[in-house]
Amino acid sequence: MSDPLKIILLGTGSPRPTLDRHHPAALVQWGRAGTMLVDAGDGVVGQLLKAGIPLDGIHNVALTHMHWDHILGYPAFVWGSWNAGRQKLTVTGPRGTQAMHHQLVESYYREQAEWAIDLGFPRAGFDDVTVCDVPVGWSTEIDGCLVEAGPVYHPPMHALAFKFTYQGRTLVVTGDTAKCEELIAFSQGIDVLVIDACAIAPAPDLAPARQRIIERLHEFHASPQDCIDIAVQADVGKVVLTHHLPGAKPEFDASAFNGEVIIGNDLDEIKIS
């Protein structure tokens, strides 16, 4: 029997490109065929193919926010999965998601889509994409899995975390966030927390301008220690650190945490059974 709930980390990097970490994206799978792509950073289509995931089988996308590192691969996914035979698609995200779809897909590529349809592509797959801007507190059920949008702190962006509950197993994917009480409450008692750990301490040999950027990350991203503290306070079973800066070695003291800490890498699979 397949695992009830699992997540494949497709991209565990940060905006600065590296060879070993792609931009943020993950695939959540449940039951026999339930899937949701969470974020779609650059390289997401290639990473899905590397993970052996048929592109035409993904009918749900959740976007945590509209920062470019989380959506550059979105138009490539819409086109690539349509090309692979995908038809219906539902896309959910915070305020700005519909506008992003309109600008990155519909507005720029409509003419090319009509050309492809004239060549014989089905209209379904491009025309039946449903895009929804949703608030914190939104929820839906997909193939027996409860999917909920929760709060994070990532100013100045509208941003969401997503929680998955399937057959008693629970998973939260935060997207980008600093430590906040609302996220701790939303993640209370879950099995697995996949969380942004991008705000590391700046290396002393960094150029001053770069050092200032790294210091400012703490205003809207969690540090690895913040992630552990959130995991302790929310009493989660396992915490997975992601959104790593190039070459970063996350440092933290997890002695107060009873669960497991995973430093996420591209194409890692975390099963929740």
The residue ranges that bind Zn ion (CB under 5 A) are 67, 69, 176
Q: How far is the CB of 126 from Zn ion (least distance, A)?
A: 28
Q: How far is the CB of 232 from Zn ion (least distance, A)?
A: 24
Mention every residue, 6+ apart, whose C-beta is less than 8 A from residue 223.
197, 199, 200, 201, 252
Reference 66, options 98, 106, 102, 97; nearest CA is: 97
Q: Decide whether 191 or 196 has the Cβ nearer to Zn ion.
A: 196
Q: Decide whether 147 or 157 has the Cβ nearer to Zn ion.
A: 157
Helix or strand or coil: residue 198? coil
Q: How far is the CB of 68 from Zn ion (least distance, A)?
A: 9
Spatial distance between the Cα atoms of 179 and 187, rounded to a whole number of angstroms = 12
Q: C-alpha angle 136/213/16, rounded to 5°? A: 80
Q: Decide whether 127 or 219 has the Cβ nearer to Zn ion.
A: 219
Q: How far is the CB of 152 from Zn ion (least distance, A)?
A: 10
Whole-Å CA distances, 84 to 49, 57, 109, 116, 264? 11, 9, 17, 13, 29
Q: Decide whether 11 or 125 has the Cβ nearer to Zn ion.
A: 11
Q: How far is the CB of 147 from Zn ion (least distance, A)?
A: 21
Sheet holding 160-166, edge to edge: 139-142, 145-151, 160-166, 169-173, 192-196, 238-242, 260-263
Q: How far is the CB of 117 from Zn ion (least distance, A)?
A: 34
Q: Decide whether 176 or 226 has the Cβ nearer to Zn ion.
A: 176
Find the Cα–Cα–Cα–Cα dihedral 12, 16, 19, 21, rounded to 10°. Answer: 0
Q: Decide whether 166 or 220 has the Cβ nearer to Zn ion.
A: 220
